[in-house]
Each structure stands twice: as structure tokens, then as C-alpha cells.
Structure 1
């Protein structure tokens, strides 16, 4: 779906601001999943999740070593979408850079 919105020139908003605001609202209303909202905001899932934490929309995990279930699910959905699109990587490349 494509939506075109004409905004006044003197409005201090960029397309990125509008995308981010819309993504936050739709995520908060449970209209978009975390990964879809991040995609709308043109951000990585991790960056978008940190933005939500900063705006007190979601709470950070109690244990800093725990990855929230929402991030795990978003990562799995992204991986499944990549598989459907044929974006596969050789096993030999999966661990490249893990020790950096």
C-alpha cells in the first residue's frame, strides 16, 4: 500500500519523522508487529526497540543478558522471510565476525 500525504512546507517534520511516528503509534496500538513497525520506520528491529524503550512504550528486560521475546520473534520472522526470498548464506559464513 502506498499513501501520499501533502504537508505544509513550513512543518518541521521530515519523512523519517512521519514514518517513525506512524510506526510507533501502529505498534503501540498492536496494529503492526515489532519487525513490521521497524521496517516502516526504516530502522533495524534493535534500533526501533531501543526507541520504544526510550519513549517508555516497552520496558527493558529485567536481566540485561535476556533478549525480549518480541525481539526473538521479530528475528525469526525476518529469517523466515529471507528464506522465502532465497536469501540463504553458506554455513561457513554464518559465524564470520562473531569474535569481533
Structure 2
């Protein structure tokens, strides 16, 4: 499976500079960074749970089941 991310040009430049300094492919840097985020929190969902959530989200987008961000904020209880 392939996941495509669209990021702003300035962020891509920062990532490319960092990967150049570390001599890593950009994909590896992104995956390592995501892994570190979830390793720090022992209560965080597993990588499999995250992957499954992403798959569900992508399928919903493909099916046209998208909602304005304002609806998301309305559903969050602060």
C-alpha cells in the first residue's frame, strides 16, 4: 500500500535539508519521527491501530464521506 502526503513547499525543503544532513531517505525520517511520537506514550494506540484508522479514513475520503473541519471542532467537548 502506498500513502501520499501533500505538504507545503517550505516543510518539504526543511525535511529535505534534514534528510540530507542525516543521509536518510525522507520516508525513513517521517516513519522514525512518527515512531518516536508513539514510543514515548505507553497509552498510545499501537502502530496497527493507527494504520487501520488511516485505512478507514482513506476509504471514507474515497467514498466522499468528508466533513468540514468546523463540524469536527463542534463535536469535540473541551
**Bigger radius of gyration:** 1
TM-score by length of 1: 0.34
Higher relative contact order (CA 8 A, sep 6+): 1
